[in-house]
Every structure is written in C-alpha cells, then in structure tokens.
Chains A and B, each alone.
Chain A
C-alpha cells in the first residue's frame, strides 16, 4: 500500500499525476519530513506503471527538494517551505480551466463562477453540506480528500 492518496485518472500522463499527488500529500501532511518514501519498485508494482515512469517521478521530486536519499534506507521525504503563492495558484489552473469551460457551456461569466465559489465555500464552512466537496471531485479533481 502506498502511504499517500493517489488515484490514476485517464488521459493525463501518470508521471504528472503522481508528482502532483506526492507534492500534495506533503503539503497536507499525509507525508511528513523524514518519512520513508516508497522505492521505485514499490511505486511501479503498486500502481502497475512502468519502472521508467516511477524512476522519473522519484528523480524529479528529488531534484525539486521533496525527497532526499539516505544511504541504507532509500528515499526519505523532505518538507520544503510552502511554495510561493503564485506557484500554489498554478496548481489550481487545470481545475479553473475545467470550471470556466463548464461555466461557458451554461452561459455564465467569470463573476458568476466567483459567486458560485463563494457559495460553495460558505456551504463547506458551515460543515452541513459535504456535497460541495463532492462537486469539486466530479469536476476532475485528481486526488480524493481524506479527512482524518
């Protein structure tokens, strides 16, 4: 079993999805500093993906400072500083594009989308409407949120 949430979605490179999932797991605390990270073999076996893909993802995460190699153990998680706000905003881009496309189909403007977001935030904040998160997931959120 992998120690972080990851579900492969169709149509996007698995390597991008996996990188994204690991970074997110680090930000949300699912993976924390010093945790042992699965080996290339475990990743490839658990996800049934090519070893080359798994290797590439580990190499990229290491280059970006999310993983470090520790002799005798393998890769361990490094918690870098929370990235710049602009970089974090970038993570939202694919979802935003999806949302805008949907809005366009419904003849809604950007302002309408902002209103819808505020509404969803209120509902999520009140804690009584968990559907709000479900809707986001349906819109193509590649990771599932697990509430501890």
Chain B
C-alpha cells in the first residue's frame, strides 16, 4: 500500500538552528502513527512542512500522493489538522465557528457534526474565547473531523488537557473508525498519551529520525532485564550495544535489552557478567521503551556535535 505521507530528506533551518535534519519517513495508510520526541525536537516544523505551512530548505514531501508544495483546497478537504497552537476565530461562538467552516467542505456531515457536538458537550452559544483550552481543542477537532477527512494530522493535541478531556478527545477521534484507509499522524512529547493508539512509532530527536517501527515489533524486541549476581561485581567495560542503561548496584544488575533473544541474552550474560546467578527478562510497555530510548539518545547526543553524523541510533 502507498504511504499516505512520504517525506524524503527533509531539511529546515531557522537562522543557524537546524530544526529538521535530513528526515526521511513514510506514514502508512490506514494506521495510527505516533510521531514522538521531546519538545523542540522538530515535530511541529516537520508537520508544518508537510502541510505546506512552511517551505522546506531541502527535501521532497508527498501527501495523499501529491507534492505537499502544491497542496490545494481540494487536498485540504481530505485532511484534518489540529495543533496545540491552533489559531481560531475567538470572537465567534461555537455555532458561528461551525457555520463558518461548514461551507468550505462539500463532504461536511451535519449529522456527524451534531453527534460530536453532543459527545464533546460543547456549548453552541459560547464564544470560543470564553472556552477552556480543552473545550477549544475539542471544538477544533470537531471542525476537523466533521467532513470525514482521510488523513488526520494532530500536533501535540493533548498537551495541557486534563485526563477527562483527553479521553473525550480520543473517543471522539475514534468515531472515524471504519472509514476506508483512514490514517492518523499524531505528534506528542509524551508516549503515554498515545500508547494504545499507536500502530507505528516514529521518534525524532534533535531534528533527526531515530526510529520508525511497528509498535508490536518494538514491544517484541525490548525487555527489561534484571540479573542477580553471586557476588558484588563491577559493570563490564564494553557491554553489548543492545544493553541500554546498564547499571550495577550491589548484587543486582539492570538494563534494557533492545534486541532480545533468550538464548543470546543467556550467552551474553554469562560472558559479560560471569558472577550472574540468575536473570529475568520482562516485557516492557511502549512508555518504558520510549523512556529507555530517550535516555540513550540524550547520552549519545551529548558526545556529538550537532553537525556531524551521530552513530546511527536506528540500530539500537
């Protein structure tokens, strides 16, 4: 299946700062892809480039099969976009705002609009300015779903939302389930927000893509390993590269194995920690995997100047 978003060697600088650095990424159709990274990693810049809201310095992007530089209003009728810093006509009431959006989209589904309005508990006659942040985000989502777009792009939609609103937001978004080929590209600095939603995870750090993988395969290859040692021992000098965050404390050693294989791990434990008495490998949640990776990227990044090619972290 053709990707719904294709990004090739995207580069974008602001003055001297490289916000996005040679980013190549395919977002598959019919899935939820989480685009993760700390604040300032380049998520918003990437999203703005792919929606033609910013001009890239280099690289090619195709959205829904067409170059993003040529995205026209017809293409935007198939894309729903909600961002953390959404600009909205704050002087309008919720009803006025929806009346204003409706004529722009021939496919606007009034019944669906009414259902979402009720689900989101939005007061139609209140001005957007008077709404809480959460309510405003729900209004923005409503206006971006009511025409049943094929692609939904969400930029940090959950930040600053209380858990109940976040929950309503996700529930409302999933109303779209069942539309053929419906795809979601959602950025977040906090994986916990999208943990169960994500079919695929892409991680960006300092403008570079660090990882792009199916959530299932990530969960399959990562394990949290705890080893009980027979006697106190120093950590090995050169542990395997797939042992992330190795720590030894007293008679316990812990690390995250990023390429788990029971037999291989058993061999490696015997080789690098001969004092090992027993070990235990536990499956990890996406959240824990993300934290382990983020820590490793930060450690790796600390040694490397931003301009040089860091060791390809994809191998982690």
Q: Residues of A contacting B178 with CB < 8 Å?
A: 39-41, 51
Known contacts A48-B167, A52-B30; is-contact A14 B196 (Cβ 8 Å): yes
Q: Name the residue among A12, A45, A50 with the largest chain B CB count within 10 angstroms.
A: A50
A79 vs B314: C-alpha distance when bound (angstroms): 46
Which chain A residues in 21-45 approach chain B with CB under 8 Å?
A: 39-41, 44-45
Q: Residues of A contacting B167 with CB < 8 Å?
A: 48
Digitize B192-219: 1 where CB-to-A-CB distance is under 8 Å, 0 elsewhere. 0000111100000000000000001001
Partner of B219, one of A13, A40, A48, A54: A13
Since A11-B283, A48-B197, A50-B199 are in contact, a sample of 15 more A-B pairs with Cβ atoms closer than 8 Å, ordered by chain A residue number, is A10-B285, A11-B284, A40-B177, A45-B174, A45-B177, A48-B167, A48-B196, A49-B197, A50-B31, A50-B197, A51-B177, A51-B178, A51-B182, A53-B199, A101-B280
Nearest Cβ on chain A to B141's Cβ, whole angstroms = 14
Q: Residues of B contacting A13 with CB < 8 Å?
A: 216, 219
Residue A132 lies at the interface, judged by CB distance under 8 Å to chain B: no
Q: Residues of B contacting A51 with CB < 8 Å?
A: 32, 174, 177-178, 182
Q: Residues of B contacting A101 with CB < 8 Å?
A: 280
Q: Residues of A contacting B32 with CB < 8 Å?
A: 50-52
Q: Residues of A contacting B232 with CB < 8 Å?
A: none
Residue A121 lies at the interface, judged by CB distance under 8 Å to chain B: no
Cβ-Cβ contact count across A and B, 8 Å cutoff: 51
Q: Residues of A contacting B175 with CB < 8 Å?
A: 41, 45
Q: Residues of A contacting B282 with CB < 8 Å?
A: 11
**Contact indicator A54/B170 (Cβ below 8 Å):** no
A13 vs B284: C-alpha distance when bound (angstroms): 10
Residue A96 lies at the interface, judged by CB distance under 8 Å to chain B: no
A12 vs B285: C-alpha distance when bound (angstroms): 8
Known contacts A13-B219, A41-B177, A45-B177; is-contact A50 B284 (Cβ 8 Å): no
**Contact indicator B216/A44 (Cβ below 8 Å):** no
Residue B48 lies at the interface, judged by CB distance under 8 Å to chain A: no
Nearest Cβ on chain B to A139's Cβ, whole angstroms = 15
Q: Which A residues are within 8 Å of any B CB, using their own CB?
A: 8, 10-14, 39-41, 44-45, 47-54, 101
Which chain B residues in 249-289 approach chain A with CB under 8 Å?
A: 280, 282-285
Nearest Cβ on chain B to A44's Cβ, whole angstroms = 5
Q: Residues of A contacting B174 with CB < 8 Å?
A: 41, 44-45, 48, 51
A123 vs B127: C-alpha distance when bound (angstroms): 62
In the complex, what residue of chain B is closest to A49 when comparing beta carbons? B196
Residue B295 lies at the interface, judged by CB distance under 8 Å to chain A: no
Residue B221 lies at the interface, judged by CB distance under 8 Å to chain A: no
Q: Residues of B contacting A41 with CB < 8 Å?
A: 174-175, 177-178
Nearest Cβ on chain B to A13's Cβ, whole angstroms = 6
In the complex, what residue of chain B is closest to A43 when comparing beta carbons? B177
Residue B171 lies at the interface, judged by CB distance under 8 Å to chain A: yes
A50 vs B171: C-alpha distance when bound (angstroms): 11
**Contact indicator B285/A52 (Cβ below 8 Å):** no
Nearest Cβ on chain B to A140's Cβ, whole angstroms = 11
Q: Name the residue among B171, B177, B198, B285 with the largest chain A CB count within 10 angstroms.
A: B177
**Contact indicator B171/A45 (Cβ below 8 Å):** yes
In the complex, what residue of chain B is closest to A9 when comparing beta carbons? B285
**Contact indicator A52/B199 (Cβ below 8 Å):** yes
